Amino acid sequence: MSECSKCKDYRKCIGKEFYTYSDIRFCPLQVMWLLENLDTLLAGHWPKSPDGSTYIDPAIRRRASPTHAKFEKPCDIAAEIEYRLRRTGIEGKLLRAEVIAGLTYELSKESQNALMYIKGWRRKRVPYKLWLAQRNYYKKYSKK
């Protein structure tokens, strides 16, 4: 398994079956994993490890301070994913449906566009339609 904090290029990454809170960098593989587990995150729980261990990320298990509850981190991640999905409109809904259906390696072009907009440590500042137009323009004229 790869170390997510040291991964520099998501295209070379093989991904993991399970991510801890400290692993989350919003790369495309992590975004798809988060979309698969969005309902669990919205409930305020971090998904269980598939290897059967009861390990929970220490940042989630213990409260960092008396003013923060342990369900805050999963809810924060879920809220961020939902916000980014809402900005993509119908294509974000299509992406979520395809990921839940298990089509992660056969995403449609619209879903791939939404995934590329959602990925990244920070939110994109430009609206989705403008970002898509800029991306298509760059693809068209960068080949010359």
Per the prediction, the chain carries an average pLDDT of: 85
Q: How far apart, in Å, are the Cα atoms of 46 and each of 6, 20, 87?
A: 22, 8, 24
Residue 48, pLDDT score: 86
Work out the number of other CB atoms within 10 angstroms of the CB of residue 120.
Answer: 15
Low-confidence residues in the chain, pLDDT < 50:
1
CA dist 32 and 35 (Å) reads 5
Q: Which helix (H) or strand (E) holds 12?
A: none
Domain boundaries, the chain: 26-141
Residue 1, pLDDT score: 45
Rounded to an integer, what is the distance from CA 14 to the centroid of its chain? Answer: 15
Q: With contact defined as beta carbons under 8 Å apart, do 78 and 41 qualify?
A: yes
User: pTM of the full predicted structure?
Assistant: 0.82
